Structure 1
Amino acid sequence: MLRNSFKGAASAAPFFPTLLDQMPNAIVVFEAEGYQLIYVNPAAEAALDLSRKSLEGQSVHDLFGDNNALNSMVEEVKLGHAAAQRQEMVLHSLPGSIHQDSIPAHVVIAPLEDPSLMMMEWFPIDQQLRSERDERVTQQVEANKQLMRNLAHEIKNPLGGIRGAAQLLEFELPEKGLREYTQVIIKESDRLQTLVDRLLAPHRKAHVMESFNLHEALERVRSLVLAEFPKGLRIIRNYDTSLPDILGDREQLIQAVLNIVHNAAQALTEEILLGAAQIELKTRIARSVTISKQRYKLALDLHVIDNGPGIPEDISERIFFPLVSGREGGSGLGLTLAQTFVQQHQGFIACDSRPGRTDFHIQIPYRRQETSS
């Protein structure tokens, strides 16, 4: 066991099991030079969802990658510039590493009596602070969507007039060659009409609420995407088969997930050519969750994870805004519609992205049939 692997490594060794095992925050002790793990407490095992046995022989880098901010904190403490270092950061894992989650956390690095050993303590950033931040972002996105809907309504009527006038003009033109110009007007009007319809579509159709098996819906998404990308792409099922049926609009939720998975597949162009493209569909049950200041006993926890290049930094904070796209020729409406459909189910959608791993996270509360509307 890892607990016994540090026997004789330092005079402070007996201190670890007796005191640190009782600490509520996740704590690991590691070698200052190689970052090799010497000890993990039970809270760290729970936070990482890994046992001491599976952590034997691992380093901090194996868990969280070569994190520059974390390295800097360790160096500051090693050089004696500070008794301890504290910082908020997202602890990422490497693609293919033993630990596959990203943890927004407050991290503390401190030295031990033995100068060759360091201690790392972390705890999740307060959920209330994250909820308030997510609420601000949601309000900003909703304001932008409302603006776009109002703009779409304003465009719709004159657009029909422009198209009708172009058709009438086409009949009056004496030369056939001149009609090419009216065809340009008509085709571009039709293209704009399609865009306007997509902006307004989520708010026209009423909810069709029913209980359904989420995994059957995900299998439909999987088959649709693999039909379009039959080679070089692998879609991994990581399902919790104990999930109960969820109450919701089946077609809307299928469309929301399809938009996300399809976007991921389009971003994996190079990986598909190499035959290394991968999208993971991961389902779990979340317990005692807070969404938009409302507490729920149970919620669906769905992750769509790909190994693509990541979302460009310049749009990472705006990916759910209408008409924002990181792909040339993209409409920028796929993620906007996905967010709208998820929010209509009292859920939330968020994204954590970096090169090699993009994770779209959806949570939707389980609700009773009689409380649906």
Structure 2
Amino acid sequence: MLKLFCTKVVQEGETGLARNEQGQHLATTELLIGNLSIALLLLDESLRVQFANPAAESFFEQSRNQLEGQELRRLFLQSSLETERLRSALEFRQSFSDSEVQVTFADGRHSLAEITVTSLEQQGSPRLLVEFKKIDNLRRISQENQQWAQQQAARDLVRGLAHEIKNPLGGLRGAAQLLEKQLKEPELQEFTRLIIEQADRLRNLVDRLLGPNKPPNFQWHNLHRVLEKIRTLLSLDEIAEVELVRDYDPSIPDLWIDDEKIQQAVLNIARNAVQVLEGKGVIRFITRIERQVTIHGKRYPLCAQIRIIDDGPGIPERLKDTLFYPMVTGKQDGTGLGLSIAQNLIDHHRGKIEVESWPGHTEFTIYLPIDKKEPA
């Protein structure tokens, strides 16, 4: 319907309507286009913007005067929408759509959009009508629900396996200790000690897979004091030329949290960032208050938002969907437990972690509910 509507708009200059009737029609058309929530751009044969509606001004954060005359490719720093595909649509009068187009703007903003390109003709010249519909929020909610279900299933599976492993490990270790007492030769005792050491190593790994073994100690804490401890711990590590930048919102009230567990969760994420930067880059710690946040199906009026942002190479595409699974890692010597443990700790606080990543920008966002009194 929108395609037909906009085709009629473009071709109005060629119609034979009476001047009065045409004027009323144009006024109505302008009113309707001006109130569309979908961003519209009309491109000429050089792929320059001829027209932009108010929604497009909001999407690109530029005025109509700034947009008109610009080449479409210059509106983006990066985009998965190929220029050659647009030129082909112009040449062969074709229309197409793409359900997921990643776009990065010159100011660093990043968005996911559904794009529809419609081939038109205006006074004998080819035109393209490009519709941009932001789907970031819809994609985020759908992805969050899907990943949450998958992670819960993976966590239950790991816990079941971990308990099955721990039971025989205890028997194995006990048998090795008894055998060691019976052996007199030091060379043979060396083998039993090796069995005990490896059993202990496996038990420690299983304990980490199972997560924290004691309930959280909730108290009222200042979030920024917790983050400052993390900055101090990181600065004590060998972080070379990595710059730690803070941008705190002082209006955030004390939170009902276990400060040690929050510290561990954020530290796991930040240390991953340090390792990815390989000694050079910037890590930003940003706090804000976010309103009306939905966490695993429950809506909270106020949440504290912690953002940990680095300017590294980004998360590999193959890891994005399984990033928080235990034993999944992109590092050769990594255990893949840091992010899994971090999410588990944040879950205990009724919070959630979101991730956005592209080359030059990786952002982990932690949401923690702000309570006015101790939650039941």
Q: Who is 2:165 aligned against?
A: 155
Quick one: which of 336, 339, 344 aligns to 2:343?
339
Distance 2:42 2:165 in 1: 62
2:233 counterpart of 1:210: no
Aligned residues between the structures:
349
Q: Conserved in 2, the CA contact under 8 Å of 1:247 and 1:368?
A: no
Measure how far apart 1:138 and its partner are: 0.8
> Which amino acid in 2 is paired with 1:245?
D
Secondary structure (helix, strand or coil) at the match of 2:322 reads coil
Q: Conserved in 1, the CA contact under 8 Å of 2:94 and 2:119?
A: no
Quick one: which of 186, 192, 196 aligns to 1:176?
186
Alignment of 1:45-64 (within 5 A): 45-47=57-59, 50=61, 52=63, 60-61=72-73, 64=76
Moved more, 282-291 or 120-129: 120-129
Measure how far apart 1:332 and its partner are: 1.1
Q: Give CA deviations for 1:55-108 in whole Å, capped at 9, x if unaligned.
A: 77986556543323343552343224424x3222253427xx4133x3232223
Q: Give CA deviations for 1:128-159 in whole Å, capped at 9, x if unaligned.
A: 56424421221111111111112222222321
Measure how far apart 1:325 and its partner are: 1.4
Q: Who is 2:90 aligned against?
A: 78
2:263 counterpart of 1:254: yes
Q: Who is 1:323 aligned against?
A: 327
Distance 1:238 1:54 in 2: 34
Q: Who is 1:144 aligned against?
A: 154
Q: Who is 1:193 aligned against?
A: 203
Q: Conserved in 2, the CA contact under 8 Å of 1:285 and 1:299?
A: yes
Moved more, 104-113 or 39-48: 39-48
> Which amino acid in 2 is paired with 1:91?
Q
Alignment of 1:350-361 (within 5 A): 350-361=354-365
Distance 1:302 1:36 in 2: 40
Q: 1:42 to 1:143 in 2, by over 3 A?
A: same
Q: Who is 1:233 aligned against?
A: 242
Q: Who is 1:109 aligned against?
A: 117
Distance 1:304 1:79 in 2: 45
2:91 counterpart of 1:91: no
2:272 counterpart of 1:263: yes
Secondary structure (helix, strand or coil) at the match of 1:341 reads helix
Please say which structure displays the higher CA radius of gyration. 2
Measure how far apart 1:295 and its partner are: 2.4
Q: Conserved in 2, the CA contact under 8 Å of 1:108 and 1:121?
A: yes
Quick one: which of 140, 144, 150 aligns to 1:134?
144
Measure how far apart 1:336 and its partner are: 0.7
Secondary structure (helix, strand or coil) at the match of 2:282 reads strand
Q: Who is 2:299 aligned against?
A: 295
Q: Conserved in 2, the CA contact under 8 Å of 1:301 and 1:364?
A: yes
Distance 1:162 1:226 in 2: 42
Q: 1:127 to 1:354 in 2, by over 3 A?
A: closer
Unaligned runs of 5+ in 1: 1-10
Secondary structure (helix, strand or coil) at the match of 1:106 reads strand
Moved more, 251-260 or 116-125: 116-125
Q: Conserved in 1, the CA contact under 8 Å of 2:54 and 2:64?
A: no
Q: Give CA deviations for 1:171-228 in whole Å, capped at 9, x if unaligned.
A: 33333233332232222112111112212333x3223333333233222222222221
CA RMSD in angstroms comes to 3.4
Q: Who is 1:25 aligned against?
A: 38
TM-score by structure 1 length?
0.79
Q: Conserved in 2, the CA contact under 8 Å of 1:88 and 1:104?
A: no
Q: 1:130 to 1:201 in 2, by over 3 A?
A: closer
Q: Who is 1:4 aligned against?
A: none
Secondary structure (helix, strand or coil) at the match of 2:100 reads strand
Q: 1:324 to 1:53 in 2, by over 3 A?
A: same
Secondary structure (helix, strand or coil) at the match of 2:284 reads strand
Q: Conserved in 2, the CA contact under 8 Å of 1:73 and 1:109?
A: no
Measure how far apart 1:306 and its partner are: 1.8
Q: 1:266 to 1:120 in 2, by over 3 A?
A: same
Percent of pairs identical after alignment?
36
Measure how far apart 1:357 and its partner are: 2.4
Q: 1:313 to 1:262 in 2, by over 3 A?
A: same
Secondary structure (helix, strand or coil) at the match of 1:155 reads helix
